[in-house]
Chain A
């Protein structure tokens, strides 16, 4: 089921191109000189230690933060500094799953999924509800249409968030820490869903995660952000990185620090 052999239609066509990107909050530089390309149909992993700027990079890719330097291109379209109207049109072709699901708490699941449909299509309310129910069924939430986000569990909220993200059949799907806070089985189910989305919708997928199991199961391309040097120190297929990467930080990350000596764990006193 590992999806490295399956590539959607136009394999090597670049979809997202990041050039010399520097991200900063005020004068504090988070990451500098990021250069990478995400091809169409890739499942692209942004990995790195906690707090190194993975989510910040994601926020830049979807236009919530502006780059301090450099640019982001979607195909031929220069996203950085583009006209707001053009940008909004592009944003509609994205689906984004936020860390906590970010469902609108005053709306039911069906309304959450249906909102983008109602805003950007000419469907009738009945059709919208039908499609919303279908998208919820995709993520295993059939019958939960009229629940409010507060009435379902965290894992279900994430899946409902995914249903909302795929409401408009997006070309690019972004996932921010999809498995954070989920048990191993739920997180595995979510991985399967991500693979399914790529294979069936042909979407390009960008995932921010530090979950090793997910990285190797779903990723076929990746970059590693290093907190100390404040830039990317590796890129490529995570499985190949594991086999060949010589950078000690990357290797330690991908092997859960296996080469580091074990510290004593029995420090409990009586």
Chain B
């Protein structure tokens, strides 16, 4: 029903310059929000014409109907009149419109209420961003420090959290994640095998696909894929849970009761994920190898037994342990990133969403960095 035709806009309004320098604004037809209404600017040229009108009057005798669209237009015209020092005579308007205009003008604009949309100069913005980064780094340090202290407290038996919370978290980030880990790991095994097969078949060495998949899954991909799944699944959930608890003041309620939210909420989550990640990784390794075997048997014409025998021959315990150590570290990083982002959450429901997003981004970045560090270390140590 929207009608943007400028002709309609003109049909709603006619301007008439009287003899005594009075500008009469005649309102015609129906002024409703769902139609294209004229802007106050239309009157502007007439108001600023020379000689300027000294008075503005309104004629609403042919006005068919109105809603706040008309009031908004008139408010704009009044504003223009005020800045130009032109008197506006509202007596020709319907009584309801006059009252609404009076209501809109009853409380003067609060000084400084309009936030200044001043764009800071480039260097100021760079400086502010840097200061924010330093402050954020300080927050991270404080969080890691507090968490370390809480962990020491846990070892000496002073940390407080409910055992049921730990068990629930273990179930959530362990058992409940098995399905998705199965799917992704199996597919990653399949993909690895395909990639290897294309090259290795050219040399008639298709059996070495088993080596590629086995070592690849154990050393890198098992831990990495589990970490990425858990970032999206559990890291985001931690951030959203803690963020919501902050919004609803549940964390405040813990603090003022003398219970540290860090011990009560963060510790069980970190412990659960650190415990579950190596297990999930081990499972993921196994599923990846099965995925590789599937390609080997179905596409490369290898027998399942020979594929497995080659895999066992290729992989070593050190490969497995490197993967498991990585998974444990990734688990700690993901849980900490998720909980920290949750605690940094602002006080609204959109802030909770932001916290979850930031948790996923942070944990994936951390995991990739840690992966690089591991690659360097294992290379230097020759394992």
Contacts and interface: CB of A to CB of B under 8 A. Distances in A.
A266 interface: yes
A264 interface: yes
Contacts of A264: 99, 102-103
Question: Which of B66, B67, B248 has most chain A Cβ within 10 Å?
Answer: B248
Interface stretch (B217-225, B250-258, B310-318, B330-338): B250-258
B250 A267 contact: no
Nearest to A107: B162
A79 to B, nearest CB: 12
B108 to A, nearest CB: 13
A63 interface: yes
B233 interface: no
A102 B96 contact: no
A62 B252 CA distance: 10
A102 B66 CA distance: 46
A100 B245 CA distance: 11
A119 B160 CA distance: 8
A224 interface: no
B138 interface: no
Interface stretch (A70-78, A90-98, A130-138): A90-98
A23 B66 CA distance: 48
B65 interface: yes
Contact of A267 (B96, B248, B254, B258): B96
A64 B67 CA distance: 48
Contact of B259 (A62, A96, A119): A119
Contacts of B97: 269
B100 interface: yes
- Most central of B96, B249, B252 by chain A CB within 10 Å: B249
B165 interface: yes
B120 interface: no
Nearest to A174: B256
Interface string A102-142: 11111000000001100110000000000000000000000
Interface residues of B, number: 27
Nearest to B160: A119
A64 B252 contact: yes
Contacts of A266: 96, 99
Contacts of A116: 257
Given A100-B248, A106-B165, A119-B259, A269 B96 contact: yes
B106 interface: yes
Contacts of A89: 258
A57 B121 CA distance: 36
Interface string A241-269: 00000000000000000000001101111
B253 A96 contact: yes
Contacts of B248: 100, 102, 105
B250 A105 contact: yes
Contacts of A59: 252
A267 B100 contact: yes
A220 B256 CA distance: 26
B253 A102 contact: yes
B256 A64 contact: yes
Contacts of A50: none
A35 interface: no
Given A263-B102, A263-B106, A269-B96, A91 B257 contact: yes
Contacts of B253: 96, 98, 102-104, 164
B148 to A, nearest CB: 17
Contacts of A115: 257, 259
A25 to B, nearest CB: 12
Interface of B: 65-68, 94, 96-97, 99-100, 102-103, 106, 160, 165, 168, 245, 248-250, 252-259
CB-CB nearest 3 A-B residue pairs: A264-B99, A102-B249, A88-B258
